Amino acid sequence: MAIDIAHAAMRVPSFPVHRRMHLGDLEAARRQSPLKMGWAALLTSIYSQISQDIPELRDIYVEKPFPYLYRHPHPVASITIQRKDDRSSERLVWGRLQNAQQQPLEKIQKEIAGFTTAPIDSFFRDGLAMERRPRLLRKLTWWILMQWSGRRRAKHLGTFSLSSLGGWGAMNAHYPLVTTTGLSMGPIQSNGSCEVILLCDHRVLDGALAAEVLSLLENRLQGEVLAALNRMNEKQDAA
């Protein structure tokens, strides 16, 4: 699957937009949370809300039979997970979350945690089925997803992706993109700053809108997400 994604992404004219965010207070609240809330859950929740508010983030470029933009009715998050498979071999899998903007943080965190512990075929069944297909049939399926059907592309690949190496102290600034946008973040520095990158399909978004989205993302992380974490922590302390 990773090879197929890399090959399909070669046709996507993607570009990265960087923003240095100040997330020290949010990182402190996250570490204090008894639920062990991960950054993937926080980003998935708030970026899904932003994608619902800004419909261009749910647009998908379709080339055939003529070029047009398909707009998916709701955001679909595709989260990259590195984990062991049933044969104890390290591999990449992708978990999808639909309508995360309507779910509480606790549920999002639970679902993402399940991607790292549950049997792979419980959430990645279509991906495993794709890998078992002959190469020519896989290529045809990918061609349909990337060229012909925006609805299926959103359903099977997501409207946005999340892939981060911040937990390993590194930054993947430009990974293969098969969704309209993709998020990545680096490690939190000692002064609370963090590099966040938004990858964009240039056929759908321009740099100005991407910069606005990153600014909105930082404001909402520092505002409503921090407030939600603080409320959760206060409830736990009171209990």
- List, for residues 3-45, the tens digit of each pLDDT value: 999 999 999 999 999 999 999 999 998 888 777 889 999 999 9
| Mean pLDDT, range 61-66, rounded to an integer | 93
Cα dihedral sign, 37-43-46-48: negative
pTM of the model: 0.91
Q: What is the largest CA-CA distance in the chain?
A: 59
pLDDT by residue (tens digit) across 119-149?
Answer: 998 888 888 899 899 999 999 999 999 999 9
Residue 125's domain comprises 2-238
Q: How many domains does the chain have?
A: 1
Give 183-227 pLDDT, tens digit per residue: 999 999 999 999 999 999 999 999 999 999 999 999 999 999 998
Phi-psi region of 117 (alpha: psi -120 to 50; beta: other; left: phi over 0): alpha
Domain with 104 in it: what CATH number?
Answer: 3.30.559.10
CA atoms within 13 A on the CB side of 216: 15
User: How many beta carbons lie within 10 A of that of residue 55, not counting itself?
Assistant: 11
